[in-house]
Structure 1
Amino acid sequence: MLRPFALRPALLRRLRGAPPEAETKILKHVPLLARLGEPGIRKALTGRYERHLSGSLGDVGSGFPTLDFLSSIGSFMDGHTYIAPYVALHGYFGREGRKACRLRREVLPGNHEDLRVGVFVDGMEAVNGVATTYRNVQVLAEREHAGVLKVVRCGGAPALDGELSLRAVTTLPVPLYDGLTLGVPSLLDVIEHVTSEDYDVLHVATPGPLGLAALVTGLVLGIPVVGAYHTEFGAYAGRLSGDAFVAEIVEVAVREFYERCSVVAVPSQATALALRNRGYRIGSFEVLKNGVDAELFDPGKRDQGLHDALGGGRKLLLYAGRVSKEKGLGRLASGYLDLLRRRDGDDVRLVIVGDGPYRGELEAMLGDCATFTGFLKGEELASTFASCDVFVFPSTTDTLGRAVAEAQASGLPAVVCGTGGPRECIQPGVSGFVVASGDEEEFFSRIEGLLDDGALRGRMGRAAREFAGGLSWEAVIDEILSLHSRLAGVGSDLPASV
């Protein structure tokens, strides 16, 4: 069942010593199982499976002890042999059911309302762009397309309207992200949920434990899977760990995941190009851009009192997002301190909105030269955006940069790097500037130009607001439904790969 996920030979060598073959494990329990009825057999096998699952992941820490982590993966995969008979049965009947479904659609053509999509999101409770995206999708889908999209998560807080929370067998700390844990579901629970809901398409938000279970379920049942690529996990792992081998392991695992999806949804053309250039063998990409709430993020929410409180009357540079090394904040801090020295430090202030593991080090680097607000949301966040003057985004690893779109909607000109998706969130030269990655001198030259030219700031700010008007969440939902309809055979054939 999991054989398609075989790792590269260099990594397989590190998985030696994994438990015995599946046949040996199952045969060992045959004498006991023979004495039980069907419910007893199922209870015994699933109980053993879940204990094995918990045990295999129990010693994984939030750091990245590479060899221990690889061994845990081997044991984790091996534990699924206990439920292999049930997976095989679901696979057979699921594929037969799909054939019947296709026949029904040919005889009785349907429409969007016939579509059923399961959207599987790891870490839905987290504070990050991916979680925010799917919370917005969930709210709008429930309001405009009730019954078509269902958001599925694992563990955590009680489920809200329009979503379902599956039971977590255990939890897994996310390597290199202290404090962030993901629920690990039973593969059998995921398969049975998908079977009972009769989904036409599975949409997987991230390659986490729930996402992996959903992908395997799609492969077993013959249901098309859309894999959404939101994060450059390999690049993040390398920058956070400083270990090229760690980055390679993560990159291999992520590539194995997405190459098995029917379609890979990316937030920008730049992301699709980057994956192709790195050798990802993906048949079809679909660009699904993020949306922005232009009612929440509005230049009209500018508050002069808040502006003065944040910077003492100075012009305000704003960064908003996760405060972590991979976001390029070390380079931003160094360049900003140089900027202050050139300008005698009396007319500009950097505002950092957000939180993360790099905050303490960044505060020590910047001292009293910057304002740290911590995590903000809702109206408080929107007012802060609108009350600043220029948005700066130094990250070269973001696939989109949702905060850039929020800044544009708030009427802020933006200066971003030319690598990754953020450059597609502005109109270069019209609503902001795109600077070649690594050209720190040009990056801060563009910032100074905006600080010194109020007319340019105003012109670009108005253009930014107009540009953001085309990034509505309603348009995002329509694109998602169009893609899923084509995959399910409700609409026309899939478009050519981008």
Structure 2
Amino acid sequence: MKIAIFTDTFAPDVNGVAKTLKRFTDFLSDKGLEYKVFAPKSASQSMYSSDIYRFKSLPLFLYPECRFAFPNMLHVREELIQFKPDIIHVATPFNVGLCGLHYAKKLNIPLVGSYHTDFDKYLEYYDLQFLTKVLWRYMRWFHRPMRKIYVPSVDTMENLKKHGFMNLDIWARGIDCSTFHPNFDREAMRRKYGIKEKHVLLYVGRIAPEKDVMLLPEIHNSLPERVREDVHWLVVGDGPNQEELRKKSPEKMTFTGFLSGQVLAHVYAASDLFVFPSPTETFGNVVLEAIASGTPAIVANAGGVRTIVKHQRTGMLCEEKDIEGFAKAITELLLDRKKRREMGLNGREYALTQTWDSIFEALLKGYEEAIDEKQLAVLA
């Protein structure tokens, strides 16, 4: 099987889509399967390599982690004719995705896609709600030719069904439990960031409006005084709200900037609770990373995170934007070490079942079914 992937974001970009696709291509390499990725150029990279064909690009307005690329259509056509893919997978609905859509139709190549981001929810945070109807019309048109549309959670699937999408299938996300695990030196992390308080609360993710990060200082201020005095926050990541959050943050909130790999895994494992108020996640990779590290997650009861967090088992679900609800859940778990430990063990146990290999094998099986549809159509 030869696979062509069209995406508007790819490694070394730092977001869930790019990380998932990079892990998938690593899996394909290990399996000896041929692939070619068509993606925007990153500043530190050449235009293309043997497996990755890069385009010049600019950051996308609403979502700088994705880029507005300028594909050379003739070159793409030549690459595809030479490569002869059995299937095209379009991962994003922007310029590169449109390029993949065009040539799948033009060259009669089986087409599948994946839906990663609820952009309609993002519009609310940027006062662009008037574009919602136009956005959904475009998204329906864009995805209509696809034999399968892979979504990361049941919640996302149900939402898309309401908007008239068909041929939906689940493509879940996995976790590398050898990287994210509980067995780190908690005191070493505390010394690194100068934390003297009893408890560490952690946020990891883009510091942006759609993540509701500005709720964090309000949640802190709503904690009972005896709990508040014992709490230190770690905020991992960067984004457009960073300076505003710094200005409103409590004294005991440390901003680490972007972290990855073992350093990030150490921070997860050394924290007492993971607090994630974002209501816009189609899955929530950082939530799975947290519970794999044995750290219970307190999250908004919205979007794909509900696939990961089982209320009162691996964490707590709070109504979105419910500051008092988040503060109450934090207080309850910080004051009950036994319950926190049980949730941490439950989360780790669940994460161990979410292996990337099994998830990618299922995706390849889905590809085979999509390719077979073409063969059956020819025979008919």
TM-score (norm 2): 0.91
Partner of 1:140: 27
Deviations 1:231-276 (A, max 9, x none): 111211331x212224444343333212332211000000011112
Displacement after TM superposition at 1:161 (Å): 7.7
Deviation at 1:183, TM superposition (A): 2.5
Q: Which residue of 2 aligns with 1:325?
A: 209
Separation (CA, whole Å) in 2 of partners of 1:433 and 1:223: 45
SS of the residue 2:259 aligns to:
coil
Q: 1:396 to 1:179 in 2, by over 3 A?
A: closer
Q: Tell me if 1:271 matches 2:159.
A: no
1:262 equivalent in structure 2: 147
1:179/1:385 CA distance change after superposition, 3 Å: closer
Tell me the residue number matched to 1:123. Answer: 9
Deviation, 1:333, is 2.5
Q: Deviations over 1:167-188 (max 9, x none)?
A: x3x5243123458633321223
Cα–Cα, structure 1 residues 491 and 474, in superposed 2: closer, same or farther, change >3 Å?
A: farther
Amino acid at match of 2:329: R
Q: Do the aligned partners of 1:317 and 1:389 also contact (CA within 8 Å) in 2?
A: yes
Aligned-residue Cα RMSD (Å) equals 2.3
Partner of residue 454 from structure 1, selected from 337, 349, 352: 337
Residue in 1 that maps onto 2:71: 185
Is the CA contact 1:116–1:199 (under 8 Å) kept in the aligned structure 2?
yes
Greater share of helix residues, 1 or 2? Answer: 1
- 3-state SS, counterpart of residue 249 of structure 2: helix
Q: 2:233 aligns with which of 344, 347, 350?
A: 350
- 1:284 deviation in Å? 0.9
| Distance change in 2, residues 1:190/1:292 (3 Å) | same
Give ranges in structure 1 of 5+ residues lacking alignment: 1-114, 494-498
Q: How many residues align?
A: 372
Q: Which amino acid aligns with 2:261?
A: G
Aligned AA (1:211) = G
SS across alignment from 1:175? coil
Which amino acid in 1 is paired with 2:155? A
Q: Aligned-pair distance for 1:228?
A: 0.7
313, 317, 320: which is aligned to 1:437?
320
Deviates more, 1:153-162 or 1:344-353: 153-162
Equivalent in 152, 169, 177 of residue 294 of structure 1: 177
- Alignment partner of 1:300: what SS? coil
**1:401-420 CA deviation, whole Å, 9 max, x = no partner?**
10000001100111112210
Structure 1 partner of 2:108:
222
The one-letter code sitting in structure 2 at the alignment partner of 1:255 is: R
What does residue 412 of structure 1 align with? 295
What SS class does the counterpart of residue 152 from structure 1 fall into?
Answer: strand
Residues 342 and 251 (structure 1), Cα distance of their counterparts in 2 relative to 1, 3 Å cut: farther
Gaps of 5+ in 2: none
Structure 1 length-normalised TM:
0.70
- 1:485–1:491 CA contact under 8 A, matched in 2: no
User: Is the CA contact (8 Å cut-off) linking 1:204 and 1:227 kept in structure 2?
Assistant: yes
* Identity between Structure 1 and Structure 2 (%): 31
Deviations 1:465-495 (A, max 9, x none): 11000111111211110110111119999xx
Structure number with bigger Rg: 1
Whether contact under 8 Å (1:151, 1:162) holds in the other structure is no
2:217 touches 2:250 (CA, 8 Å); kept in 1? no
Cα gap change, 1:316 to 1:245, in 2 (>3 Å) = same
SS in 2 for 1:185: coil
